[in-house]
Structure formats: structure tokens, C-alpha cells
Structure 1
Amino acid sequence: MKVLHVLPSVSPLLGGPTHVVLHLVKALRDIGIEAEIATTNDNGNTTLDVPLQQRTEYQQVPIWFFPRFPLRMKEFLFSAELTRWLWQHLSEYDTLETHYLFSYASTCAGAIARHQKIPYTVRTMGQLSPWALAQSQTKKRLYSRLIEQRNLQQATAIHCTALGEAEDVRKFGIYTPTITIPLGVDIPSPYPEARRLLGEKYGIAADIPVILFLSRLHYKKRPDLLLQSLSSLAKEGHSFHLCLAGAGEPDYLNYLQTLIASLDLTAQTSLTGFAAGRDKEILLQGSDVFVLPSFSENFGVAVAEAMAAGLPVIITPDVQIASDIARAEAGLIVEGEVEPLSAAIAQLLNSPESRQQLGENGRQFAQFHYSWDAIAQQLAAAYTAIVQKQPLPHSLTQLRD
């Protein structure tokens, strides 16, 4: 079976979304699915240094890169060359999966697939959540009426990663069948030296609990709320060190630095920048608590990675794997306000035994439910049903009309 995944960008600056697509395609190839990616050479304000308009091995995955239009319009990313290639070559694939809504590459691929009668699935990536739809609301409403609703309605299936995301699809007025498959994470090998190395790198004493925020530094993720909550804990005498790990726009980073200083948290906070590889493992396995008080997450890859590393997690109900965390007893789910978030953090800071138990629960859950091999097998079963024009696997269509 030959499957093409289309998305506007695989820039490392996008963090989780890029990580997910690359690992998903690699996992599919590992079980015998001939999966490839078509995308642009976008890399934020610059472009990736990659060969264009030829099949390229990029991070162990075959990708066709095409030049984006020089004027970058956020995630829309027009590419005439990608359009021509899709028109000429999409028929060589058995099925198509698009990633992102409100973007040119995905919209174009869906339209060509419909014209050439190729079945396709759409991964909405949380972009139909109430919070996401409220951003640039007028533009999205117009785009939806003209283009996106038809793209979703005529898809063979909508690929969701949590039941909450599937519910958002229905609330948007789309009744295309949904398949619900979680995203995967790498299950790390134990790193006994992580805490010592983390302490040495950021000057953290061995007896000080480390709180980790690992995600894109963006107002959607609400690192400012975390800082405000920690400020109140510091005033109550709690000891901790916060690692804010992630990249962000310069203006927002300046805002966070100013906020940290105004809350008198400079000595207790490290802005680590974007973390990958060994640096990321040191953060995940050297910390004590993971916190992500986001406004909206369709899945929350960073949360799942924290669970896989054995970290107890504190999240808001708007992180759509909250039901998994509750079922696994892997952390605390609290409203996104200063007082409940402060109370949850204090609860775990005061109880090393609770941190250990919640973390171990999360590790075991992630190993069983979030392995890439298991996820690839489920998605391959859905692709097989789609190509053979058979009913979708019942186990994947949990949200019924």
C-alpha cells in the first residue's frame, strides 16, 4: 500500500506537530506501509536547506520538498510547484492523509484527491476546538464556508487523536466518519544521571524539586499562568526550580522574561530554549513534575512524553488526553486559574511518594497505549479498510452518530 501524507511544513520550529508526522510515517514504513510526505521547505522566517522537487531522505523518512511562496502567510504556505506535482503524481498513491486545516497544501491535496477519486483522510490537529476557532475567527469562518467544510465533508474519514477532538468535529457540523487513534511517543531508556546533569547545567541544588514546562513558548500554552501560580507558592515558602523549555517568538520571550523578573522568580527559573535529543531526555528524566496549563491541545505530545519518562503531570481539562490521565491516575487535572493550579503543584511538591506513584502509573500507561508500533498498526488497518472500501474498524470509530 502506498500512502502520501501532505502538510504545509515540517519545520523543527513547529515542535510537536513535526515530530509526530515524521515519527508516524517512519512507524508506518517499519510495518511495511510505503508512506511518504509531500511538503514545502518552510522553516519559519527562513527555509530548510534541503533538495527540492525530488524524493529526499530526511530524518529517516522519504520527503518531497517544494519551494514555498517567498511571502510567508503563517501556516497557509502557498506553493505552485507542490500543486503541479500533486496533480501529476497523486494518482500513484492508494490513499492520502492531510495534516492541518486552513492551509494551502492540505486544501489543495484534498481538492485534487476528490477530482481524481482518490480516498483521503484529514487530521484536524485540534483546529476545530472552540479555542482554536476563536483565533482569527472571521478568516476561518470565511475559509470554512468556501473551502474547508467541503474538504471535511467529502473526506473518507477524519483522523482524530482523542475523543474530545472527534466531538469537536461533530460540533463543527461535520458528520464524516471519524477514527480515533492516539499519537505515539518514544519510550526512553532509563537515564540515571539525568538529575545530576540537569542540576549541574542549570545550577539546581539536589534537594530542590524541578518543575518542567516543555512545549512551544506561546500564549496558548499559558506559561504566564504557570509563572503566576509559582509566584504565589514562592511567597508561601515553597522551594522549587522551574525549567521553561521551548522556542518562541522574540516578543513573547521578552514578555516572559519581563514577567519572570517582575514576579521575582529569576533565581528560580531557567529558560532552556528549544530542547531535543540528550538535552530533552535530561529535562524529562531529571525533573520532578510536568505542568502544561494550555488553553487547548488536541492531544498533547509533550504530556505523553512526560508520562513515558515517568513524570507526574498537571494539566487543564482542555488538554484532550485528560481522560487518559484520569483513567491512568497519572496526574492532576485542574482548571486553568492561579489558585487551583498553585494548589495542585503544592500537593505534588509536598508529596514525593505521590509524585513517584503517579509517575509510574503514567509510564506504564504510555508504554501500553502510546507506542508507535501499536499506533501504526491501527492506522494501517484503517487505511486498508479505506482502500478496500470496507467498513472502518469498529474499535477506531468510538464516537457514533
Structure 2
Amino acid sequence: MKILHVISSVDPKGGGPIEGIKQLNLPVRGLGVQVDIVCGDNDSAAYIAEIQALAASNTAVGIPGTNVIALGPSYFGYGYTPRLIPWLRAHAHAYDAVIVNGIWQYHSFAVWRALKGTATPYYVFTHGMLDPWFKNTYPLKHLKKWLYWPWAEYRVLRDARRVIFTCEDERLLARESFWLYKAKEAVTAYGVANPPADSDDLVSKFFAQHPQLQGKRIALYLSRIHEKKGCDLLVEAFAKVAQRDESLHLVMAGPDQTGWVAKLKAQAEALGIAHRISWPGMLQGDMKWGAFYAAEVFCLPSHQENFGIVVAEALACGKPVLISNKVNIWREIEADGAGLVAADNLSGTLYNLERWLNMTSNEFNAMKAKTQLCFMSRFHVQRAAGRLLEIIRESQ
């Protein structure tokens, strides 16, 4: 079987969609599937060269063994890529399935235009982009999307062989954004691969880069610095518990795509805890895994999160997760006792931090013991790869 992923950009700063492709790639290829990616990036982008080099070396970091076709440059915020439709019309027939990753940008509409009326089936991962949180939070943007929806994304979803959701909550929420909605829905498992096992060495490398964190009780945030992630809630809630233990330290790791970090730092300064928070930027590879292993807990008080790959990664590293009930896998984590769940507001974020700090060592160790069991039974990527191929085969 040959699969083609279509995505607006493979820039790792984009977060979940490209990370999902990377995580799925190895187990899917292990099942005998060839995977290619086409994107709207400029082929001169540094991250494209890095991905291609890793692919050529068959290294497990990045996207090994996968050909990335960069058809950029793309234009405007919409990601218009004029070479995409001609390329798809010329090459898509060589694939058994085309998978669209994300909507609301040109690549999804281009797949519909190019494959409409052909024998090549396409599938859509919405990656949470139909969550009603966006409608409620950005009503003007939602109105703009309504003007676009009937002649573009509605048709993209309507004609897809399957619209694939990463959990049941995401599927149900997607129905609430637009009343004109028609899709042949499917729910897949989703997840991540086993993390590197050399945890002590990775922690040492992380502390070598960040010596000020040695000996701290680290609460780790690792994701995009974005309004929907609840970063401001975490900073304020941490300020309310920081005095309980001088060794408590918050690490806010991730790319800043909207310029919000400056405001968050000013917030921390006003709260008197600027010296208790580190901002290392985007962490990748050994530094990312070192941060996970060095942390005591992982925090993600998101207002909207269709799955949360970083949550699964934290569990895989044996770290209890402190999350909001807007992270769509919260029910599974709560049921397994692998973390703490509360509302996506200040009181909920504070409640999670206080419950963690109030735990006895026996209670905390018992929760830690459940994290990897939760990961292996629910969020290991091998299950996700098998389910994805099952969806494709059943629908053909």
C-alpha cells in the first residue's frame, strides 16, 4: 500500500498535525506501507533539508524513509500553493490513499479539486479544527469561515472517503460548529511511540543546557505558546502555589507563534515569580525528552485540544499529567488514574496544582505507576497505525 499525506507545512513549529504524521510513520512503514508527504513549504527551508537528510539516513528522529515533496512557496495566510493541484492530478493515482491533514487552508481544498471524480480516495484528519471553541472564542473569524464553508470545506468533508477523528469527543464536538455538516465519520486510535529509554543520560544533557534547573521540582509545559493552551492560567495558578516550596519551578517550553511570550513574562514579573519560570523556547530531540524525564509533572490547561500528543508523550515518560477537561482524552486519563483533571479556568488549573502538591509520596508514586500503563493500553502509536490502515481498507 502507498499513502500520501498532504499538509500545509511540515515545519515542526506547527505542532500536532506534522508531529502526528511523524509518529505514525514508523509503525505504518513497519506494516509494509510506503509513505510520502506533499506540502506547501519552500524546498529551500532549513527544516525541509533536515527532514530529507534524516530520511536518507533512515534515522528514527524526524520522518525516516519518507519522501517529502515541497511545492512552495505558498502565499497569503491561506497557504495558496499554485503547484499543488497540477502535481496531485499528475501523481495522486499512484497512491492507494491520500490523507489530508488539517483544514481551513488551501491544501484541503486542492485535494478535493484534484481528486473529485477520480478513483483515488482521500481521507481527512481535521486535527480538532472543527471544535466549537473556535466559534465561541473568535466569532468574527467564524463568520468569515461561514462564507467559505459551503463551497469549500463542507465539500471537502462531504466527499472524503472518511473523516477521521482521534477520539470520540472530537467527533461529537465537530458536529457543533456548522449546521451544514455531512461526513462519513471514523474514529481511530492515536498516540506516540516509545520514548528513548536512556532517561538518565537525557536528563543530564538537559541539565547541562539548563543548569539553573538542577535540583528543582519541575512542572513542565511543552507545547505551542498560544492563547488556546491556557498558558496565562498556568502562570497565574503557579504564582499562587510557588511559595509552598522554594524548589518549585515552572518550565514553559514551546515556540511563540503570536508574540505572546512577552506578555506572559510581564504577567510573571507582576506576580513576582519571574525568577521561578524558565522559557527555553521550542525543545526538540534529546532536549525535549530530557525535559520530560526531568519534570515531576506535565501541565496542559488547554481550552481546546483534540488529542494532545504531548500528553501521551508525558505519560510514556512516566509523568502524571495535570490537564483540563478540554483535552479530549481527559476521560481516559481520569479513568486510569494517570493524572489530574479540572476545568479550563484559573480555579481548575490551581486545583490541579494544589492536588499534586497535597499528595503524599505514596499517592504520587501510585499515580506515576499508572501513567505508562495508560500509555501502553490506550495511546501507543502501534495501535493507531493498525487502526488507520483498517479504516482505509474497510472503506475501499
Same fold (TM over 0.5): yes
Identify which of 209, 228, 243 aligns with 2:217: 209
Q: What is residue 353 of structure 1 aligned with on the other side?
A: 362
Q: What is residue 59 of structure 2 aligned with on the other side?
A: none
Q: What is residue 79 of structure 1 aligned with on the other side?
A: 81
Q: What is residue 375 of structure 1 aligned with on the other side?
A: 384
Q: Deviations over 1:2-51 (max 9, x none)?
A: 221111111111133211112323332221122211112159xx775549
* Cα contact 1:41–1:48 (8 A) shared by 2: no
Residue 192 of structure 1, CA deviation: 2.9
Residue 366 (structure 1) aligned with residue 375 (structure 2) = yes
Indicate how the Cα distance of structure 1 residues 381 and 49 shifts in structure 2: closer, same or farther if over 3 A, else same: closer
* Cα contact 2:132–2:174 (8 A) shared by 1: no
For 1:22 and 1:241, how far apart are their aligned partners in 2? 31
Q: Structure 2: give runs of 5+ residues left out of the alignment.
A: 57-61
User: Given residue 109 of structure 2, which amino acid in structure 1 is its aligned partner?
Assistant: T
Residue aligned with 1:67, SS = coil
Q: What is residue 111 of structure 1 aligned with on the other side?
A: 113
Q: What is residue 14 of structure 2 aligned with on the other side?
A: 14
* Cα contact 1:98–1:110 (8 A) shared by 2: no
Residue aligned with 2:199, SS = coil
For 2:260 and 2:319, how far apart are their aligned partners in 1? 27
Q: Deviations over 1:289-310 (max 9, x none)?
A: 1110111001001111111111
Q: Structure 1: give runs of 5+ residues left out of the alignment.
A: 388-401
Residue 59 (structure 1) aligned with residue 67 (structure 2) = no
Q: What is residue 177 of structure 1 aligned with on the other side?
A: 184
User: Given residue 304 of structure 1, which amino acid in structure 2 is its aligned partner?
Assistant: A
Indicate how the Cα distance of structure 1 residues 238 and 340 shifts in structure 2: closer, same or farther if over 3 A, else same: farther
Indicate how the Cα distance of structure 1 residues 81 and 26 shifts in structure 2: closer, same or farther if over 3 A, else same: farther
Residue aligned with 2:124, SS = strand
For 1:197 and 1:118, how far apart are their aligned partners in 2? 47
* Cα contact 1:223–1:293 (8 A) shared by 2: yes
Residue aligned with 1:354, SS = helix
Q: What is residue 257 of structure 2 aligned with on the other side?
A: 249
Indicate how the Cα distance of structure 1 residues 190 and 47 shifts in structure 2: closer, same or farther if over 3 A, else same: closer
Residue 321 (structure 1) aligned with residue 329 (structure 2) = yes
Q: What is residue 35 of structure 2 aligned with on the other side?
A: 35
* Cα contact 1:312–1:356 (8 A) shared by 2: no
* Cα contact 2:192–2:381 (8 A) shared by 1: yes
Indicate how the Cα distance of structure 1 residues 49 and 319 shifts in structure 2: closer, same or farther if over 3 A, else same: closer
TM-score in terms of structure 1 length: 0.88
- The share of aligned pairs that are identical, in percent, is 25
Q: Deviations over 1:246-284 (max 9, x none)?
A: 111362121122112111112211111111111111110
Q: Which moved more, 1:152-161 or 1:359-368?
A: 359-368
Q: What is residue 162 of structure 1 aligned with on the other side?
A: 167
Q: What is residue 397 of structure 1 aligned with on the other side?
A: none
Residue aligned with 1:41, SS = coil
For 1:9 and 1:322, how far apart are their aligned partners in 2? 28
Count, aligned residues: 378
Identify which of 100, 103, 118 aligns with 2:102: 100
For 2:326 and 2:151, how far apart are their aligned partners in 1? 29
For 1:170 and 1:343, how far apart are their aligned partners in 2? 31
Where in structure 1 do 4 or more consecutive aligned residues deviate above 4 Å?
46-51, 193-200, 235-239
Residue 282 (structure 1) aligned with residue 300 (structure 2) = no
Residue 194 of structure 1, CA deviation: 5.2
Residue 231 of structure 1, CA deviation: 1.0
User: Given residue 360 of structure 1, which amino acid in structure 2 is its aligned partner?
Assistant: A
TM-score in terms of structure 2 length: 0.89
Residue 332 of structure 1, CA deviation: 0.9
User: Given residue 100 of structure 2, which amino acid in structure 1 is its aligned partner?
Assistant: T
